[in-house]
Chains A and B, each alone.
Chain A
């Protein structure tokens, strides 16, 4: 399973890479901004995208909009990763078309399992 991580925080990308790749056994592709993430999504055609919400320039929701607008990437399931754990925020993000929402800080040992659970849930 190939997964694309889009996050502006290098540390978070590093931990996510380890949590998904080393712990979850997934193939991880990284992008440090929304625009880069869109390009990677087109180029690498991942099975899922883990998208940070708070980013400079194109933030998570904007990036999601662009991904959904592009037919090449519209079908890729997107999971948001957010530091805002409020229920309304989660609802808002789901309503934008995300497949699921995971909150920060996350347990790196169970991140991959949570991602699989969201994707597996249909």
Chain B
């Protein structure tokens, strides 16, 4: 639910107070940018899409009919990322290497040796590559639930679908991610090593 502070800021923004709207931007920009980054797998593009989403939100603030403001904002981000992915599908713009860098820095870090960092970087590339093999809907489900940690009802609200649809898309996406990751078993960490198909057959 939208907090009272948010509701007040929204009301002031509707009256034309740009500072109030910028307060809302600061409250949600990390979440917006993170979702955009996971979806498009490119830093520069994610920045552009996040900025475009906030501009669109300010322009169309009058269409906000209540409810969770973050969900309304996430739907704008979803549409922006979908549009970008469809455009780039027709006209590929970025290289694969630039996209893969996205995940290498975000794997859970700790005291790592250089060898562990290299392994982490390679794993991040593989994860990014496998995410790219998913459809937009499946990728969004995985990003919202498994990577960003939202609940099923929140993800359903952000995606504008039912909870059952979210679960269905998520399960298909997870199975495809598993199959994709298992094509590179040598890069999987020991603590997260997945059962290969040969092991399962045995």
Q: Do A and B come from one complex?
A: no
A contact set with B: CB distance below 8 Å: none
B contact set with A: CB distance below 8 Å: none
